[in-house]
Chain A
Amino acid sequence: MKDIPQVVEASKVDLVFQTADGPVHALSDIDLEINKGDFISLIGPSGCGKTTLLRLIADLEKPTGGMLRVNGMSPEEARLNRDYGYVFQSPALYPWRTVEGNLKLPLEIMGVEKADQNERAREALEMVDLTGFEKKFPWQLSGGMQQRVSIARALTFHPDLMLMDEPFGALDEIVRDQLNEHFLRLWEQTHKTVVFVTHSIPEAAYLSTKIVVMSPRPGKINDIIESTLPEKRTLDIRETQEFLELSQRIRKGLRAGHSYD
């Protein structure tokens, strides 16, 4: 087991932000292991540090204590190595680039050959079911489509690890359900490792193989729940007893972290 390094390995990770109002303890004593092929959800109320934890893995923030490794390297080395694709809360598309131009952005930066760029952009667009929208500008697309382009952009350079920060948080429930199902299909095909931040219990239960329940002030991990659901899932699974039990466990974990004293 030990010869394959874990994708993410965190022990006693601590993060304190120095702000004008004094130090803020954002994350405390985080222990977490993420294996290859896992679909991990980080769930918790706002302010629990789930996005911050994702940003630590992505080397967009630096921990102030503890040990954090990504693919057996420091997060910075992993970032320099372009080991992960990051999907932000908002689509973060460049408004002056077409859909195709946006998909090619990481490829241009990483120095992929021109001919290869077109092929990979086409392929990624097909994966998110947006073939035919190459020449459109972002403002010509709906919010859900923009977010799909942003996911496709992270797929173009074939990272094995996807870090996703509430990618469907700003969308309405109908579109969200569609994208959840679509994204699950995509994950089944590619079996990438996914770390997925959400504050929706059904989303976490439906998508994940492992659910990490967090609580705020300071942000810490309350519970890690292995999903009992079968790997092949459709949206109907949400009506089953198993799904409801899983949701209940998550809810309990969230409640335990909330002390109203």
Chain B
Amino acid sequence: MRALTLALALLAGPAAAVQPDEMLPDPALEARAREISAGLRCLVCRNESIDESNADLARDLRLLVRERLLAGDSDAEVVAFVVERYGEYVLLKPSATGANLLLWIAGPAMLAAALLAAALYVRRRRAAPEPEAAPLSEAEKARLEELLRG
């Protein structure tokens, strides 16, 4: 099923992304470009970063990222530049601002709540009296009788 969607996603062409002619000669700068690209979404693809995508738009963005890096931008500046142009939709890791705070604290908050509930449960079970064996049902009594006789 996942395949169906992925397949659709790849209609644009499945070959892998970064082309040799795009790469920067300076390996350190190129590594930074790759890292930035992995966090930016290809706008016309389903769920791919521009680093993975083969779409033309992704290539344009990859070149843009490298251009900014060559111009001396810091990583954050490059990302800010791209976000300003294309909106926060390009960020694969959503910023922790405004309503997005909910997204980021949902996990930790839920964990805290779950741990609290679990701790309360354990406390109750610890303090509970040992259960007495439940009385046997009629059928069970009959079966016991049978076993004891046999």
Q: Are A and B a genuine interacting pair, yes or no?
A: no
